[in-house]
Each structure stands twice: as C-alpha cells, then as structure tokens.
Structure 1
C-alpha cells in the first residue's frame, strides 16, 4: 500500500505574490538590517538593556543569512527561459536579469557589514577563515550571475564598479576579524626584530681605548630614571577632553597586550604608576574608559582597518563609485524595467550612499581621527595648520554632543540581592514553573536583577583605595600579597580589627562573598544615618555587595576562573535561600517582615526589607550552625546573623572604629581579587555588553602597578655607556 501524499492547499494568489516579492522582500530586509546595525551597534557599549542587545544580536545573525539567501535567489533566477515559468510577475523578474545582476554586488556590500560592527562576541573573530571562504564563494556566485546576464545586460559598467566595491567591503570585514582573533591580535603586538646594542662593536671600542692607555670606563645607566623623567613631563592637574583621548590612546598602545595575557616591563609599570598618581579620580576613569573604547574598536569594529592607507583609499573609492553609479543609473533607459524594481534599485543606491556618508561622519568625529590629527599631548602643532584647524573644529563639535553619546560605557553596575530574592512571596509559584522549563535566568533578570547608577562616591572610593595601596608599593612580592588577598588584608592593617575574624580568613572565595553579602545587607538595613559622609559609605558597601553577588551568580564566565570558587558554589546559595525563605515564611504570620497593602483589584502583599533584616539580627546564634546541622546544609544565613551582630556590638563598644570603612575596604579587596584572577579575554569581552566595573578595576590595578602582569627581572632596565676621560 503506497504512501498517501498530503498537499497543503496554498492559494494560487499567494504563490504569485511570493514568486513576485520573495527576492524584492529579502533585498529590502537586507538593506533595513544594515541600516539598523550601523546606527544601533555603537549603543551596545553604552547600555546593558536587553531591549538593545537582543534586537542587535538578532539583526547581526539575520543580516548574513538574508544577504546569502538573496544571492542564491538571484543566482537561481538567472538563465531560465521564459517558457519554463508561469505568472506575469515571475516572467518580469526573468526579463530583468540585468537588473538582478546589478543587485548582486550590493549584497556583497551588505555581507561586508557596516564599520560599527564586525563581531558580536569575541568568539566570532575566530571564524575569520570561514568568512574568507564565504568571500570566495559569494564572489563566484556574483560572477556567475553577472556572466548569465550578458550580453543583454545594459548595466554591466555600474555592476562591475559596485562588484569591486563589494569585494573591498567584504575583504575589510574578513581582515578585521583576523586582526581581532587571538592569533592575529598576538601577531599585531610583535615588534620588529631588535638585536640591541652592538656588543662586538662596543667591546672593540672599549678594548682599543684601554690599549691606547686612555682613561676608559663603562657606566651603567638606569632606564627607570630616564623613564621617570619622561613620565614627569606629563601634565599635572585636570586634563582636557583632547588630552584624555590622547593619553587613553597612549596607554592602549602600551597595555593592549593585557587582552592576551602579555607580560610588561618594570619601565612600563613605573611610567603608568607615575602618571596615575598625579591624576584625579574623574580623569583616571576617563582615561581608562577611552582605553577600553580603543580595545572595543579593535575587537568588534572595522576601525583599525579603516584607519590605514588602504582603508582611506577604500573609503574614497567606495564613496566615488556609489555617486558615479547613481549618476549612471539615473541616465539609463529604464523603460523595460518594472517600476517596483527600479524603486528598489534606487533604494539600494541611495541607501548605500546614506550608509557610507553616515560611516564617514562617525569616523570623522571618532577618537581615531583625533589621534590621527594629533597623536601625543606633547605635540605642538601650528595653530594655522590644516590639521590644527580640523582638530579644533572636531573637538568643539564633540562638546555639543548629547551626554549619552559622550558616555563611553553604561556607567551602571548590575546588582543582585539575596534577601530580596528570598523575601518576595509573589514569585514562589513562578519559580517552580520557570525552573522546570530551564528559564530561571529569565525570572532572575525580570524580578531581581537591577542596574544601579555608578555613583561619583563609589568612583572616588575605588580610585583612592587603589592609589593608596600603590603609592608605598615598590617590590612585586608585596603586590602579589595585596592582589592575592581575598578580603582580609584590611583586617590585618586596620588598628583594632586584627584577630577579630581569624576563623574566617581561610574561607573559600565564594563563601566569603555570600557571607559578607548577608552581613552587609543586615547592617545596612539596621542603621539609618542621615549624615552624607556616613550615608555614602553605607551606599558604597551596599552597591559593592550586591554587585559582587551578581558577578558570582550571573557572570559565571568571569568568576569561573577565579581561584577558590568551587563547582558546587551554587549549592551554598540555594541552601541559604531555602533557609531564608523558611525563616521569612514563619515570620509572615506576625507581619513583621510583610505588610499587607491594598492594590488595584484586591489585597496584595508587599515585603518590608528593613523589618526582615531586623528579625535576622534578633536571632540568637550562640552555637555554631555546623554543631546543630552537621553537614546536611551549606546555608550561611545564621552564620551571617552572628557576624552581623558582632559588628554591631563592636560599633557600639568602640566608637572610634567605623565598621563601614572596613566593610568597604573588604569588598574592594574581594573585587580586586576577582579582577586580577579572572581570565583577561572574558573581562575584555564585557566591553561590548555595556561594560563591567570589574574590567575598569582590572585596568586601573594594572596602571597603578598592582597587577600580576609585570616581569620581575630588572636586568633589562640597565643600559651600558662607554665613558672616555676623567
């Protein structure tokens, strides 16, 4: 018995519409995606909102597929005799083979992508060879389409011109991906071979002078002293916006090797330390933000390729070819073309012109143009030179930009609060559903994840902490001790605190984060200080506490490489949450932790965060939790209550000891430990996702000489000089 074939009845009208508009629709979609990418892609380094990231990710993936699909449709339609097809619209497409061949090079341009985005993630850069093969095969497809349209093609000249333009655009993207790949990036860091001073010639001169009985000696010159003198030439005081960009580029040039775990010399360390010791917190962060923006451009855009001689020639050629193609097509006889096809062609031409013009304007006002015009702040260009006039014009226009456009990262930090997660009863039902579907991350992002503004108080605190630790530090052994401290270095150096928490010093890193997060939350809600200074300290502790928990739970790629974090770290979080939920559920009847609130449509329940923390502080945790539970639970809830109570009692008995200073410094140590022990490539990848505070701290630590990327050998800092005479 044969199989029964069931055909889905599709109306003939629908088939005719699809045959007539499948290619046209895909062409319009491809142009729309390119327009969306060029204008929206720069926003991803300034915002963390999923409303920007998700559409951009979808457009990035869809753009290549749509362009490839359109090329295949054009190729499939070429060379078909009219008699093999049916329908007026399809016959029209076959008759316009020359016009379709003219569309193919525009799709090569689209496959090249806009200058503002080449890769969505760093992993995309490793696919550069795939793009190289794609360039080869797409060029073959475009050539096939072009040959099939001959000799009747009346648009062969503009088609050839745009074909060359498309190849250049696609090649630029492939080249950019290669340069941003791990191997390509490392190769770009290699300097020209340097044999160093001529030892044989030096010794010949030395021996000949000695044999001639001349007073000769070899004097060793410290390169550190020379480097310090050059560093001392750096401007003191507040930096201008132009100087911020120039110094940011200088440090990008020196320290871009951080992305691939490159080791730096003592000379570079000393120069960087001397510069940042003379900066304010505001200028230091601005310089680092500019440095990160240059790294972003290298890893995720075409700008490094564009800002070269070949790139400049390519841009001029592209603009000229598009303008000339518009003129050629405008004066061509279009009587045999369908009006819809002519309209789409004009859309492709003017769309390409608008996209190229927009890209040129973005390049004109970018940091790369400023560096091209005046690379170093020490340069003194002629006030009436062409470069100086253009530079003055650009810098003045940049000041008129909106504040959002000037923002170089999101200037926000993501926070996650454990008590908030455990206290909200409205999500208990949804948690079970989302967990079964494997979508618990969506629930976390919707209910618990928040983006808080990066305050000036937090910025100043981070800068002062790193600055104060860096100033007395000279030897790298001390640097290693500081960067390896997991939150208890401050307890040793702060008078009166040494020995109070000895039993916690050997705790695992994840254990420390969860424990001190709960302690900070309880203490924060226990006190209500109206003084600005004390309030700022509490807010800093709160932000750092919630941010570090966010890194631990939501940023697994960053924290997975940090030493001391166990694979079962989430079991501690789960057990602590479970115990907290049980505790708050028992307290719910007393309405101490919850307050009933009339909402629209009936009665609702609103949790009282402050009252809940007060109840936790009242728990009498006089016996160690492990003595009661054994190893059945890894919860840290009541250990946190015991430690929080200890801190409150210390504050009451010893008025001269400010626990918030110590808590803030402890959180700073935990943040610095994660910054110095996580993978460099993962931290660099965060630049394209709105930026992360941990990435900025990582760079600041390096510039202050607190990183672990510096070589210990000092022999390379000595230079020999031959002295003849007394």
Structure 2
C-alpha cells in the first residue's frame, strides 16, 4: 500500500526542484517589496507575511540546493533530455544569490545581527554544496554562466553577512569607539617639575581648561530663514545620526556634542525637529535592518556593480548558447529565463531604491559649511524629490467651536514611520466598551472605517456569545454536578454508573478543552491579540501635541547645564510639572507622584484622567480643549505602553501587571454590583466618582490588594477642584494633566533600553522613540558625562 499515490508521487518527483526554485524566487520578490513597509506600520498581518517569507526564503533555498546536489547523482530518466541535469546545475548559484537576500531586509529582528557568524558558515557550506553540484555535472558546457553566477551569489551573500556583522551591537560599538584617550602627559610634566624644583628655579603650574561654549565658534549653524529645505532636513538628520547612533550601544558624549545639539535644536521649529528626528530614526533603521549602510561604502558600491555585471553577463552567455531547445527540457529553459529576468529586474529595483534613498542624498550632497551658500540645480532636484516624502497634515475640528488643529496624515507609501499613537483605555476594557476616537472623521476613509468597524463589531459579538455560552455551560455543569453528587450519596447504583459517566463526559472533557485552550493561549498569546483587535484605539499625531512636548522639553533643557542636573530633570515623574504651576492646591497632588511607584502612578493618573474626561465640559476655551484632548490621548497611550508593550516599559513597569489585574478585578466587581452592563463609560465614571472617599482605601482594605481604583477617584476629585482654567486662563486641571503626562512620557522614554527603541523601529515606530531622541538632543540623557574635558597644564618659570 502506498502512502502517497503513485501519480502524485511522480508529479512531486518531477517538480520538486522546479517548485522550490520558483518558490524561492517568489519569496525574494515578496521581501524586496514588502520589507520596507514594516517601518511604516505595526499591522500584525504584514508582520506575519514578512516573518513567514523571511524564514521560508532561506529554508527553501537551502533545501533546493540539497535536492539539486542529490539529483546530480541519479541516472537520467528516459523521457528527459540527455543534458538536462547540466541546466539544473546552473540553478545552484541562483539559489546562493537568493540566500544573499534583498537589500531591503537583512535582519528580521535586532537579535539576528548577532548571528553573523552563522551566516558566514552558511556562505561557506552553501558555496561548497553548489560547487559539488556543478562538479557532479562536469563536463558542463554551461560553466561560463555558472561561474559568473557564482561570483554574483557569493558577493550578495558576503554583503548580507557583512551587513549583519556591522550591525551586531558589539561590532557596531567597536566601530564607533574613538582611539584610547590617555589624557595629558602627567608623568612628563611631573618629571619636568622635579627637574626645575631641584634647580631651585621659581615656577608655578598654570591650569587652563577647554574653552567655554560661549568662547567657541559654533560648528553647526541653522540657516537664517523661516524654514529648512527638505534636503537640509536630511543633511542635518544624517549628521546627528552619525553622532547619536552611539546611544544604541550606551556610548558617552562630550559637552561639545551636547552643546552643539542643544543650541541647534533650540533654534528649530517643532515641525523641523520632528522631521530631523524622523530622518535620524530612518537612518538608524536602515543601518540595523538593511544593506544600505554597507552599500554606501566604496567597497559596497563596487561589489554591487560587479555582482550586477556578472548577472547580466551570465544572462547574455546563456541566451547565446545554441541548441537549448534540444539539450534541455522546455519547462526548465523557461524557468531559467524567469530566474534571469526577474533577478535582473529585482536588482534594478534595488538600484532605484538605492539611488532614491535619503542616505544617497545625504552622502551625495554633504552639509555645507556656509548654510547661506547658493544652492545648485542638483539641490533643487533633490529638494523636489524629497518634497513627496514631506509629512502631510490635515485640519481637524477641535472639541469645541469652529477652530481647527492639524493631524499627521502622510500617505502610507511616503511615510518614514507609522505616525500613529495607540491607546488602551482601562475603563473601556472593564466594560468591554468601544472607545471612540477623537480624530476619527478625517483620518480614514468613511467607507473603509465603517467596513472595519462592522468586522470588529461582528467579531466582538461572536466572542461575547461564545463567552456567554461558555458561562452557561459552566453554570449548568455546576448545577448538574451538585445534583448528581446528592443522588449518588442516596443511591449506590448511580454512584457506580451515572457519576463516573458525568466525571468523564460532563466534567473531564470540558476540563481537557479548557486546559488545551490555556496552553495554546500561553504559547501564542491569543487573548492578547484578540484584545488588541477589540480594544486598541488609534490616533494620528496632532501637531499641537508635538509642539507641546517639544516646548516642554525645551524649557527643561535650559535647566540641564550639568550632567547631574540633566539626570535629575529627566528623572522627574510629574513633580516638576506640578511645582511649576505654583498653585496652592498642587501640594495635595504631589503625593500621587512622589510617594508611589511609577507603574502605580501611571494607573492612578490614567483612571483619574478618564474620570475627568467623561465629565461634561461646557465652557472650554480653545487652549483648554487642546489640553483635554492631549491629556486623553497621552493617558491612553501610556496605558497602551504599560499593558501592550511590556518590553518598552520593562525598566519601569515594576509590578504594573499585578496592579492592573487587581484594579481590573475590583472595577468589574464594582460595576457588576452597580448593574452597569450597557457599556456606558460616562455612567461608569460618574458612579466611581459618587463613592465617598472620606477614608482612604488602604485604611479600609489593607495593602494586600494592589488595586488603585478608588485612589484614582480621590485624585480625580482633587483635579476637579482646579477647574478647567477657561475662565481665568490659568493652569486648570487640563493644563496640569498635560504637563504631568509629558513628564511621565519622557521618564519612560529616557529609562527604556536603547535596544528596545531600535527594535520598535522595525514595527512602525512609536512616539516614545521620538521623545527619547528629542531628549538626547536637548541634553536630557545619561550619556552626557564629559562636562569639562581635558585641563591643560603648563609650567611657568618665574613668579609671574
């Protein structure tokens, strides 16, 4: 008996190598076009497609090479052309070329760069396997194109291995380290000092420090005009990228670099700063996940021209070979032409991407020493090309009145990052309620929005019905179990017949399925993915929000004249913002940031912000309206980071998960007891506020439970006493909340591991990454530890 029917086995034997080769080519095509999209979005579906293609591309090519090698040792089948195996030997270097991978992706994750030694071993083993396949096919008239293809394949594989090598963190750091600095020659100076001391010569040692920043000529000057050009944005971004990429490997920076960056960014407009940081992060992504950095070296460019020239030469040599139709199978000839033509086309696409990349523009047109120098026609052309990638903003109505503000709506294919701020709302999650978006009217096409909401609503409805059915089954099972146990005690026969059947079928089987589902959920995080679909909100970045963050950090940078002060400012978790308001009521709020852990503070201020947001706002001014929307977006965003992005918050999260679960359990019990089941967030918020808080929760419940639900209610009531600031144009609760959220955000950004920031760039990027780099530019980072530089000592003979 055959496991696989003979007809199917015959087809598989005939097409296994051909199918693998075609599949390998398809994966390469997918990767070259889809891989650049992952820095523009965090969509799970796209990430899954890229992940699958990346892993299967290498496996398919490796397996195909082994099959070709195995096939060369077999006898020729009667129905095959006599020299057909010679053609299959030509496919081996093609697969080596595929293993070199496209230029747009070398590493799927940051950890892949550390595996460069494995790829080097793979290069050697696959090259030997390809050579072995060719040797088995000798004498082979196709040896000229095979040799040329081997040159192309080896060069492509070397490019990939070199890209992984240079992007691995240890090598990345070694490349950036300056030569060892022993400082001024202390021993030589002291020898000279002893010599003159023995000669009884009057002398003294004069110390001169390095020049103050006000005495040094500025090395980086912003052009004296209203706006930077698109090319200048890229040029400045590339310059700062080459300086601040050391943040990734925890290098320290000098006070020269700190002052240069801070002085320059102090003169920028917020949008200009956003665009420069956007280009910096784009350069950082390309250096870590693509071949861009090595291709823009002289050796990399030469290697690429040789590889492409060899590929073209191999194609022309093969095309001019006579008697292809008689020597080889017709389908294999077509496949070979497809490999050549698609391979050449993909190389041409790579060259276009290479030539039109920001890196090419920055390398080709260096930053001029005189920013007011006249621009050349080439600069005008590059500015025109870069104009298409400029961030685009669209007006959106404010929460009150006919005034508008702008939100980021750059088209998908022109983005350098996702431009999205995600949100997770605690009360909405408790009630399983859909949280409405603030900017939902202008960001998405109405029909697409309605279609997506319909799908999510249907999906949510099905999950709810399954949960209700599961709960009913559990309740029924519990009732049946109680009844059967009672009857079994009374009747011995039921104890030996019905009761075992119940244990097996009604109790055992559901338990098995429950355990199986729990096991699957632990491995694949199914529930987390479902919650992400149902309860995550998405907002485009508002321009006024970025401006507020920019000016808040800019003001703080003025205080950070020393590394110690910079560290103190960047470690603020809301206390600086509260004290800056200079209101008498603020003292009661300080305990909610100073006397609590960071994760506890996040949960407290998030719930309090939502309780205040659900309160009816009738007399908001334009500024208060901005602060209200800003606070809401940032509150939900920080909760999203804490719950949905634990890696980004791993340094500061503490026991955030435990606090969240305990608070969730108390909130669900509270809502169930008050019969709030209609998913009305406003009613739920009013009900929480209505609870008497004369006695603090810890004095009633103790501290075993880490719930902060009613502590947040107390905080919300304190905030409501501040008013909204609309009448006297002072610092109302919304201005206080917005400043506190900036500090909470900047604290998380500065205490997140640099490698996690870089890892997030391959998943669409986050606002947190921009704040991290902006803080570094303003000198609010731990890496600025060189404050004075070298002292210069000299001996002066005489008394003066």
Q: 1:692 to 1:227 in 2, by over 3 A?
A: farther
CA shift digits 1:337-394 (9 cap, x unpaired): 111111111111011111110111011011121122122132689989xxx6555434
The residue that corresponds to 1:578 in the other structure is 665
CA shift digits 1:655-693 (9 cap, x unpaired): 644111111111111111111112111111111110011
Q: 1:340 to 1:294 in 2, by over 3 A?
A: same
Q: 1:498 to 1:535 in 2, by over 3 A?
A: closer
Find 1:183's aligned residue among 155, 167, 170: 170
Find 1:695's aligned residue among 769, 772, 782: 769
Matched, 1:549 2:639: yes
Matched, 1:235 2:223: yes
The residue that corresponds to 1:511 in the other structure is 600
* 1:178-327 to 2 correspondences below 5 Å: 178-192=165-179, 220=208, 222-225=210-213, 228-231=216-219, 233-236=221-224, 237-327=226-316
Equivalent position SS for 1:639: helix
Find 2:331's aligned residue among 337, 340, 358: 340
Paired residues in the alignment total: 690
Choose 350-359 or 389-398, whichever is displaced more.
389-398
Q: Give, in whole Å, the separation in 2 of the partners of 1:528 and 1:63.
A: 56
CA shift digits 1:211-261 (9 cap, x unpaired): 9x9x99978363443785224633244211111111111111111110011
The residue that corresponds to 2:406 in the other structure is none
The residue that corresponds to 1:499 in the other structure is 587
CA shift digits 1:78-109 (9 cap, x unpaired): 12123xx6x74xx45x8411111111111111
The residue that corresponds to 2:475 in the other structure is none
Residues 559 and 566 in structure 2, CA contact (< 8 A), matched pair in contact too: no
Equivalent position SS for 1:117: coil
Matched, 1:523 2:612: yes
Find 2:718's aligned residue among 646, 651, 657: 646
The alignment's C-alpha RMSD in Å is: 3.2
Matched, 1:535 2:529: no
Find 1:423's aligned residue among 417, 431, 437: 431
Q: 1:507 to 1:72 in 2, by over 3 A?
A: same
CA shift digits 1:29-56 (9 cap, x unpaired): 1111111111111111111111221111
Shift of 1:15: 1.0
The residue that corresponds to 1:598 in the other structure is none
Residues 228 and 270 in structure 1, CA contact (< 8 A), matched pair in contact too: no
Find 1:108's aligned residue among 90, 96, 116: 96
Q: Give, in whole Å, the separation in 2 of the partners of 1:391 and 1:189.
A: 30
CA shift digits 1:103-127 (9 cap, x unpaired): 1111111101011110010010111
The residue that corresponds to 2:143 in the other structure is 156
TM-score, structure 1 length as denominator? Answer: 0.88
Matched, 1:619 2:707: no
Residues 470 and 704 in structure 1, CA contact (< 8 A), matched pair in contact too: yes
Q: Give, in whole Å, the separation in 2 of the partners of 1:391 and 1:72.
A: 51
Residues 37 and 56 in structure 1, CA contact (< 8 A), matched pair in contact too: yes
Residues 222 and 371 in structure 2, CA contact (< 8 A), matched pair in contact too: no
Equivalent position SS for 1:276: helix
Which blocks of at least 5 consecutive residues in structure 2 are unaligned?
390-409, 434-460, 471-513
Choose 253-262 or 526-535, whichever is displaced more.
526-535
Matched, 1:685 2:763: no
Residues 110 and 288 in structure 2, CA contact (< 8 A), matched pair in contact too: yes
The residue that corresponds to 1:489 in the other structure is 576
The residue that corresponds to 1:658 in the other structure is 732
Equivalent position SS for 1:44: helix
The residue that corresponds to 1:558 in the other structure is 648
The residue that corresponds to 1:603 in the other structure is none
Q: 1:412 to 1:150 in 2, by over 3 A?
A: same
Choose 629-638 or 429-438, whichever is displaced more.
429-438
Shift of 1:326: 1.8
Find 1:61's aligned residue among 40, 55, 61: 55
Residues 237 and 280 in structure 2, CA contact (< 8 A), matched pair in contact too: yes
Q: Give, in whole Å, the separation in 2 of the partners of 1:412 and 1:196.
A: 47
* 1:446-485 to 2 correspondences below 5 Å: 446-485=533-572
Q: 1:649 to 1:48 in 2, by over 3 A?
A: same
Q: Give, in whole Å, the separation in 1 of the partners of 2:312 and 2:600.
A: 64
Q: 1:201 to 1:633 in 2, by over 3 A?
A: closer
Equivalent position SS for 1:127: helix
Find 1:170's aligned residue among 136, 145, 157: 157
Q: Give, in whole Å, the separation in 2 of the partners of 1:31 and 1:397.
A: 31
The residue that corresponds to 2:118 in the other structure is 130
Equivalent position SS for 2:259: helix
Equivalent position SS for 1:415: strand
The residue that corresponds to 1:599 in the other structure is none
Find 2:134's aligned residue among 146, 165, 177: 146
Q: Give, in whole Å, the separation in 2 of the partners of 1:193 and 1:374.
A: 32
Q: Give, in whole Å, the separation in 2 of the partners of 1:194 and 1:544.
A: 44
Equivalent position SS for 1:291: helix
The residue that corresponds to 2:440 in the other structure is none
CA shift digits 1:618-647 (9 cap, x unpaired): 222222212332245322112211221221
Residues 231 and 275 in structure 1, CA contact (< 8 A), matched pair in contact too: no
Choose 189-198 or 657-666, whichever is displaced more.
189-198
Q: Give, in whole Å, the separation in 2 of the partners of 1:137 and 1:299.
A: 25
Equivalent position SS for 2:782: coil
The residue that corresponds to 1:27 in the other structure is 21
Q: Give, in whole Å, the separation in 2 of the partners of 1:227 and 1:251.
A: 23
Residues 237 and 277 in structure 2, CA contact (< 8 A), matched pair in contact too: yes
Residues 228 and 271 in structure 1, CA contact (< 8 A), matched pair in contact too: no
Q: 1:32 to 1:109 in 2, by over 3 A?
A: same
Matched, 1:360 2:351: yes
Q: 1:391 to 1:78 in 2, by over 3 A?
A: farther
Q: 1:483 to 1:10 in 2, by over 3 A?
A: same
Q: 1:272 to 1:704 in 2, by over 3 A?
A: same
TM-score, structure 2 length as denominator? Answer: 0.80
Choose 188-197 or 704-713, whichever is displaced more.
188-197
Q: 1:260 to 1:544 in 2, by over 3 A?
A: same
Matched, 1:331 2:320: yes
Shift of 1:14: 0.7
Q: 1:29 to 1:442 in 2, by over 3 A?
A: same
Q: Give, in whole Å, the separation in 2 of the partners of 1:407 and 1:208.
A: 67
Shift of 1:575: 1.6
Shift of 1:203: 11
Shift of 1:201: 10
Q: Give, in whole Å, the separation in 2 of the partners of 1:241 and 1:201.
A: 52
